Amino acid sequence: MAVEVVRLACERPDDVGRSLSQWFCVDLARQLVDEGHVDRISYETVRRILLHHKLKPWRHHMWMNPKSPRDAEFYARVNEIIDLYTRLLSPSEAVLCVDEKTSLQPRTRGTPTRPARPGNIPNRVEHEYQRKGALQLFAAFNTRNGKVFGRSYDRKRQKEFIAFLESLDADIPRSITTIHVVVDNISTHRGKQVRAWLKVHPRFRFHFLPVHSSWLNQVEQWFSILQRKRLRIADFASKDDLRRKLDQFIAQWNQHAHPFNWTTQSVAKVMADAPEAQAA
């Protein structure tokens, strides 16, 4: 019987006629009965068998089919980015990680969100909300001091991206003559309009991440903090209110800004697992 449990657990449910995304113990038990292997079996027995064989078919992980090989060019680009993060910069250099956090919705609640109360009463958020459009947050994370530049726009096009670059150009002192910008490969970042803008703003130097390597962009770490601390409860009166609250969060972050601790050793550890993950 253990053999049949393991066999089923290692097959996709769709392949045996079950409309399930993944197996659960109850469903495996029913399938064993339906296939005639046993007259009855409890889900607890199935669970014990799976535990013995270290199988958890109800879990899943994302992986990437290696259509873009991790070859010498890939590692050269990774090393270029890591060098920007770890080497000693001259006083005239800065490294900014840039990306967009898109489709941020105000989700206005009919009743204001209520704060926590003694007695293990959590924050209370009304289930119903109103849709009032969305904002696109353009952000740049300074890898050496952790400070963030941010602007919110209604759309995400080359036009808005160039407007954001213009704001960076105005805010960053002229004493910084080389601004390294780490970005991904979407057309918003490398279209004709952007390339034309870069030609007349030579202090900006773009460094494009390898494909499917968003984890290398440090602003993604900051976005996760923003999501957890400011956006987990979405209850804003309007897009303008959301924009003000985002600006306020950035300003308060910058009062206590800190960089993330990236080292060549930590990145090497991640990269050591990458080929294995690709081939999984």
Report the CATH number at residue 220: 3.30.420.10
Instruction: Work out the average pLDDT over 83-89.
Output: 94
| Model pLDDT, residue 272 | 64
Are residues 217 and 101 both part of a single domain?
Answer: yes
Tally of structural domains, the chain: 2
Are residues 20 and 156 both part of a single domain?
Answer: no
Domain-located, residue 272: no
Mean pLDDT rounded to a whole number for the chain: 91
Structural tokens at position 245: 């609250």
Q: What is the pLDDT of residues 10-55, one digit of tens each?
A: 999 999 999 999 999 999 999 999 999 999 999 999 999 999 999 9
d(CA 103, CA 242): 12
Are residues 109 and 227 both part of a single domain?
Answer: yes
Are residues 85 and 215 both part of a single domain?
Answer: yes
Are residues 82 and 44 both part of a single domain?
Answer: no
Q: What's the 3-state SS for 160-212?
A: HHHHHHHHHHHHCCCCCCEEEEEECCCHHHHCHHHHHHHHCCCCEEEEECCCC
Structural tokens at position 206: 């773009």
pTM of this prediction exceeds 0.85? no
Instruction: Work out the average pLDDT over 235-245.
Output: 97
Expressed as residue numbers, the domain containing 48 is 2-52
Are residues 234 and 98 both part of a single domain?
Answer: yes
Are residues 83 and 177 both part of a single domain?
Answer: yes
Domain-located, residue 174: yes
d(CA 269, CA 151): 34
| Model pLDDT, residue 279 | 38
| Model pLDDT, residue 69 | 64
Structural tokens at position 99: 């990306």
Are residues 151 and 253 both part of a single domain?
Answer: yes
Domain-located, residue 269: no
CB 162 within 8 A of CB 193: yes
Are residues 34 and 150 both part of a single domain?
Answer: no
Domain-located, residue 66: no
Are residues 152 and 222 both part of a single domain?
Answer: yes
Residue 181 confidence (pLDDT) above 60: yes
CB 111 within 8 A of CB 126: yes
| Model pLDDT, residue 106 | 96
